[in-house]
Amino acid sequence: MFGASLSRILLRKLFDDGIHHIRCTSTRFLCNQNQQVFPRYSSKVPRSWFNGSYANRFPPLNDPLPDLKLPRCLPDYVDPCPTTVTTLSNGLKIASEDSPGPAACIGLFVDCGSIYESEQFTGVTHLLERMAFKSTKNRSHLRIVREVEATGGNVGASASREQMGYTYDTLKTYVPEALELLVDCIRNPVFLDSEVQDQENYTAERMVLAAFGVDHKKLLAIAKPLLYDLQSGPVKVPKSTYVGGDFRYRADSQNTHVALAFEVPGGWHQEKDAVTLTVLQTPMQQTLMGGGGSFSAGGPGKGMHSRLYLRVLNKYQEVQSFSAFSSVYNDTGLFGINLTTGSDFVEQAVEVAADELLAIATPGQVTELELHRAKNATKLAVFMNLESRMIVTEDIGRQILTYGCRKPVQHFLRAIDELTLDDLATLAQKILSSPLTMGSWGDVDQVPSYASVSQHFRAVN
């Protein structure tokens, strides 16, 4: 007990002496510093910008510091790097666009999707999407995750009706490792080979390796050894036939959801119509049709200049949501309006939707101001999307699969500028002349009949 108390007393004394020494040393240091610093910047004259006291003691902020070399200012405009495309002997295309930044994105895109599924293999496209970046013959799933984490990368897979895409976003330094892992995950997945061979449209001439932020020669040197032996063999594209129709699903809900849609003939291959449809309806709310919910969740004023917001949501308080939508594919697509309202107002809401669609197809119903605003909003959406490396990589891959080449953004901007009110009316008339597709969910008892809704569009037909 006595020994322990003495030890604590000695430690306490040493601690107090140390603190006193530190305080004294700090005080002397501060005093010495003050004697050197204060005379230079202190004065009995009040510091004021008006009497110039600051200017006498400190250099102006707009004067360059002596012996300081600044880098050259960046130019106001830099020409974008061109997209370079190389076709391997087996038909596989490698496309890249370089960029000055430190990061890059690579993606492998396949002209393969749910349109190629047979009845026996329905859903295999979704399975391939969900199984992306899982175990391969060379790597376990854990190892794949660890390798992606080690590069600070971001991987993703997407499946659609006609195409599949696998992307890897990382620093340029890790492009060789990223590309090898990407190809391994696509070529060597671990699931039954019989299932893969029966539905594996992953042949060379149907694939595009796209990259953004990568030098093309360096990409070729890495990609050729990994992809040169991929087998080739064309696959016949199934023909899609649009028929229209009516589907109603009764659910326990106080609201009713209804969608009215029509075919977009030609799809992406009809480039002018595709651009016109994009201006007519894009994901941004400030487009020509636009629309949205009764509450502006994106902030004050979001979407409130679009036709459907001004003419429907502001006028009919019973309507909870009312917006245009589109789904465009290579050779066909859908365009229409979906709405949500109470069951007691659904019949009138469907009539309003039909009237709004017919108004677009009627010359003189859309103003030049509305078209001008929609064009600007569409351009803004294009430029915002192209700020993402992954979206640029996807744009390169999907354009080459669809058009056989990468068209520069200026090409689409010119097409938007050339769009006229007559083009809008002509496309709308072409769309509304196809059979009506009608779907409803919820309390569907008050939804008008398919025949009565179709009657609205017979004048167009």
User: Mind spelling out the 3-state secondary structure of the chain?
Assistant: CHHHHHHHHHHHHHHHHHHHHHHHHHHHHHHHHHHHHHHHHCCCCCCCCCCCHHHHHCCCCCCCCCCCCCCCCCCCCCCCCCEEEEECCCCCEEEEECCCCCEEEEEEEECCCHHHCCHHHCCHHHHHHHCCCCCECCCCHHHHHHHHHHCCCEEEEEECCCCEEEEEEEEHHHHHHHHHHHHHHHHCECCCHHHHHHCCCCCHHHEEEEEECCCHHHHHHHHHHHHCCCCCCCCCCCCCCCCCEEEEEECCCCEEEEEEEEECCCHHHCHHHHHHHHHHCCCCCCCCCCEEECCCCCCCCCCCCCHHHHHHHCCCCCEEEEEEEEEECCCCEEEEEEEEEECCCHHHHHHHHHHHHHHHCCCCCCCHHHHHHHHHHHHHHHHHHCCCHHHHHHHHHHHHHHHCCCCCHHHHHHHHHCCCHHHHHHHHHHHHCCCCEEEEEECCCCCCCHHHHHHCCCCCC
**Cα–Cα distance, 429 to 460 (Å, whole number):** 6
Q: Which residues of the chain have pLDDT under 70?
A: 1-59, 192-199, 201, 282-305, 461
Confidence (pTM):
0.71
Look at residue 154 in the predicted model and tell me its pLDDT: 93
Look at residue 101 in the predicted model and tell me its pLDDT: 85
Look at residue 126 in the predicted model and tell me its pLDDT: 86
Look at residue 29 in the predicted model and tell me its pLDDT: 44
Structure tokens at 226: 């990994």
**Pairing state of beta strands 164-171 and 83-87?**
unpaired
**Length of the chain, please?**
461
Assign residue 290 a region (left: φ > 0; alpha: ψ between -120 and 50; beta: otherwise): left
Contacts of 206 (CB under 8 A, 6+ apart): 110, 111, 112, 234, 235, 401
Look at residue 8 in the predicted model and tell me its pLDDT: 52
Look at residue 232 in the predicted model and tell me its pLDDT: 79
Look at residue 430 in the predicted model and tell me its pLDDT: 94
Look at residue 249 in the predicted model and tell me its pLDDT: 95
Assign residue 303 a region (left: φ > 0; alpha: ψ between -120 and 50; beta: otherwise): left
Torsion over CA: 123, 129, 130, 131 (sign) = positive
Structure tokens at 460: 């167009």
Look at residue 448 in the predicted model and tell me its pLDDT: 94
